[in-house]
Structure 1
């Protein structure tokens, strides 16, 4: 085998070695800072090529008079990768069942499903709300980022329907039950909902529903095979025509990761997949409410909550990698800055994992956004160049659409700036 070139060695060193320490994007945080989201848990998070989107969450915070207030946070925030800045999306009709909701973004349209208000499990949702975030092309290259941020948006209830039955029909409603902690995923022109808690003291379910995005008609699927047990706050990752269910929680214990469940979309079939342990560290501990970020075949899980009937609740700070071709687990050397659960994670186009929010060991809800380079993720050359250009432009305070357009930067990249 030929020796590695100097370039290959340099690339490997840059993208695979610098993986041991998280960076706090905004380390100086003020409790009443309106320019950044409050610390929270139970929020949901997703990302596209330009932004991270954070919806809802729960915050038991003291007000200015020192009075403890438990509340959900019906709001949507976005973090722009280019500017590295937060902005709150100004929107009407924000759903109030915004703790442990599910979220996805598609073509600059955010989809939010389910969730609960506070107290948990008393008011729950089984509806889909959408918010279009399309920003029209700038009329002039010099239009400010401020003008783009001030656009008004409105949440819209997606008017779905279930097949109608006669009064004598024994068929049940195909609409998903009101719940929270479900998983939402897109596949082609359909949306799938799995699992969730249907009440605070009720056992979670393993229901699987499909929404046809052409007809907006719900279907409760009845798959064959080894159906997974009911669970909530699990994570789901998609690989071609299959999605995989990882972990999750039940009333008295968290699900293990020595085996995961695969759903074959084409054949409507569940199967059990036995994963391979790390040769040195074995399997990840069973967990729910953990962070999960996917980049192609590479899946990264972080932290979470470990518990069972015989084991007292324990929060975790480990990070593991799973490859979806080999199903091999590998415990990474990096760790979270603190033991954490009810947080969220994504992988950016630049190959970084971002983690926001969650519950620390002392019950503190973290307001921090952490960033770290991942070891098994190689971003595209265009993304590497764009990231470096944004860093330089921020330092020189020239990160505007007008300046970058004059420099000849492609419009598809310039349009990511907010």
Structure 2
């Protein structure tokens, strides 16, 4: 039986640098409510939204910064609602880190966890700081850590298992490694782990995090999908998975050339009939308007877990 090529679907608004002929951005033309194309960002998801932190675009390299900006890096946190397909710029409280390219981020409950990353120039202003941002209060908190703190780095991977966060690989900008460190998020103590293996992968940066629980359940689906899918021409992106659906945001096709703010997705498993019905409702009705009248959705029988996504 012939394989059917699976294609990524574009959702939400799209803009690419090539649409403006890759011109440098003029300071007077910057719109703080606009999500500009970027690469080097990181994203996390919950049941309703994708949160995008940071990123880089060289078109902003000549913009003079204020206390709230750090161009050509984006000192920003954005939220994309999967139902309304609408972006919202989130105004946070506290001190946001400035090393906002090739950092690592993940979600733990209602907190976004951040570690490492680089500012500009790349590799000369890297970080080994650990921060949290509460996604409800939008307050940043610097976490003072101790123990075997990893060296300042970027391009590393980060994953959580229980109360521990694991950081692997990365680069200082001059030296690459495959070191593995573990952080107890309750005590703030780092520990460098000794690899118990005869084989260690070559040192590298820009590692992809693989979700262990998801991988055990859907490994074959993931492998088959990556073998036969078609993706838009984007070579450096940040991808993540939610309930069997793979999302990709932003990226660059040619270094320092064309970046995008496109959101793409593809199902790795067969979505439920409920999920397909909800998606059809979202495409047919004005969900931005219905956000103000959620009780009516409940009255007509829409399950509460879908209404809570609004």
Deviation string for 1:233-289 (max 9, x for gaps)? 01121324xxxxxxxxxxxxxxxxxxxxxxxxxxxxxxxxxxxxxxxxxxxxxxxxx
Q: Which residue of 2 aligns with 1:120?
A: 122
In the alignment of these two chains, the number of paired residues is 288
Does residue 322 (structure 1) correspond to residue 223 (structure 2)? The answer is yes
Question: Do the aligned partners of 2:247 and 2:266 also contact (CA within 8 Å) in 1?
Answer: no
Q: With CA pairs under 8 Å and 6+ residues apart, which has the higher RCO, 1 or 2?
A: 2
Corresponding residue SS for 2:36: coil
Distance 1:358 1:368 in 2: 7
Equivalent residue, structure 2, for 1:95: 97
User: Hey, what does 2:236 align to over in structure 1?
Assistant: 342
CA distance 1:197–1:87, change in 2 (3 Å) = same
C-alpha separation between the residues in 2 aligned to 1:356 and 1:396? Answer: 22
8 Å CA contact 1:45–1:53 kept in 2: the answer is: yes
Provide structure 1 residue ranges, at least 5 long, that are not aligned to the other structure.
1-15, 135-151, 163-173, 241-292, 301-320, 324-328
Pick one of 213, 216, 219 that aligns with 2:185: 213
Q: In the TM superposition, what whole-angstrom CA distance separates every residue of 1:20-72 from its partner, at most 9, and x where no partner exists?
A: 3543531467875544421111111222221111111111115899xxx9611
Q: CA deviation at 1:396?
A: 8.9
Cα distance between partner residues in 2 of 1:18 and 1:228 = 31
Contact 2:168/2:181 (<8 A) preserved? yes
Aligned-pair distance for 1:18? 7.7
In 2, distance between residues paired with 1:159 and 1:91? Answer: 20
Q: Is the 8 A contact 1:206 1:228 kept in 2?
A: yes
In 2, the alpha carbon distance for the partners of 1:413 and 1:128 equals 34
Deviation at 1:366, TM superposition (A): 2.4
**Given the superposition, is the C-alpha separation of residues 116 and 362 from structure 1 closer, same or farther in structure 2, using an over 3 Å criterion?**
closer
> In structure 1, which of residues 214, 223, 242 is the aligned counterpart of residue 195 of structure 2?
223
Quickly say closer, same or farther: Cα 1:218–1:395, change in 2 above 3 A: closer
2:162 aligns with 188
Q: Give the structure 2 partner of residue 56 of structure 1.
A: 54
Mapping 1:212-361, distance limit 5 Å: 212-225=184-197, 226-240=199-213, 296-298=217-219, 321-322=222-223, 331-332=227-228, 334-338=229-233, 340-349=234-243, 351-361=244-254
Which of the pair has more CA radius of gyration? 1
Show CA shifts across 1:283-331 (max 9, x none). xxxxxxxxxx97953489xxxxxxxxxxxxxxxxxxxx527xxxxx962
Q: More strand by proportion, 1 or 2?
A: 1
Q: Does 1:45 align with 2:43?
A: yes
Gap regions ≥5 residues in structure 2 = 21-29, 64-69
Q: Higher helix fraction: Structure 1 or Structure 2?
A: 2
Which residue is 1:83 aligned to? 84
Residue 37 of structure 2 aligns to a residue whose secondary structure is coil
Deviation at 1:391, TM superposition (A): 2.6
**Which residue number in structure 2 is paired with residue 133 of structure 1?**
135
Q: Is residue 102–residue 114 contact of structure 1 (8 Å, CA) maintained in 2?
A: yes
Question: CA 1:296/1:408 → structure 2, altered by over 3 Å: closer, same or farther?
Answer: same
**Structure 1 position 231, deviation (Å):** 1.2
Q: Which residue of 2 aligns with 1:165?
A: none
Conservation of the 8 A alpha-carbon contact between 2:15 and 2:37: no
Residues 236 and 253 in structure 2, CA contact (< 8 A), matched pair in contact too:
no
Partners of 1:161 and 1:299 in 2: CA distance: 40
- Corresponding residue for residue 110 of structure 2: 108
In the other structure, the counterpart of 2:306 is: 413
Structure 1-normalised TM-score?
A: 0.61
Partner SS, residue 180 of structure 1: coil
SS in 2 for 1:366: strand
